[in-house]
Amino acid sequence: MSKIPEYAFELTMRVRDYEVDSQGIVNNAVYLHYLEHTRHEFCRMAGTSFRDMQRRGIDPVLRKLDIEYLHPLGLGADMVSKLAIRREGARFIFIQDIYSLPDMLPVVRANVTVVCLENGHLTRGECLAEAFAKYL
């Protein structure tokens, strides 16, 4: 996860009070929400949404997640969540990095593998490949 990719999408966010633990830092599980929210917003920007996909019987599902926690964020911290995507056969690999703002200190690095179910059956994800074609 050391090579910085060419990002296709980025989303700026701020840490909210209910996302921090008793030590005043973001709970490790909350970063998964940030990453997921970024993927959902990327899909929307790419012209589709999870709601639209679900209506069509398409379910992108998480297969694997590899995450490195590099630097903690605290209450009120600003961040930018960046995303790149590539395809490996039937798998879509989202390379996702979160940086603190304004210093761009790396906070989280993650590789997220997603596969596509259509009407409950595993597919090669051609419908997603079509939606993401200009970003792959």
In a domain, 122, yes or no: yes
Q: Is 103 a catalytic residue?
A: no
Q: Report yes or no: 86 and 93 within 8 Å, Cβ to Cβ.
A: yes
Structural domain range at position 95: 9-135
pLDDT value for 77: 97
8 A C-beta contact, residue 110 and residue 97: yes
Tell whether 19 is covered by a domain.
yes
Q: What is the pLDDT of residues 12-63, one digit of tens each?
A: 999 999 999 999 999 999 999 999 999 999 999 998 888 888 898 889 999 9
CATH of the domain at 50: 3.10.129.10
- pLDDT for res 125: 87
Catalytic residue among 17, 21, 78, 103: 21
Q: Could you give the number of structural domains in the chain? A: 1
Q: CA 34, 36, 41 angle in degrees (round to 5)?
A: 95
Q: What is the DSSP letter of 72?
A: -
Residue 80 belongs to a domain: yes
Entry pTM: 0.90
How far is residue 101's CA from residue 90's CA, in Å, rounded to a whole number? 35
- Contact at 8 Å (CB) between 60 and 124? no
pLDDT class for 3, splitting at 50, 70, 90? low
Q: Is the pLDDT of residue 127 over 90?
A: no
The mean predicted confidence, pLDDT, of the chain is 93
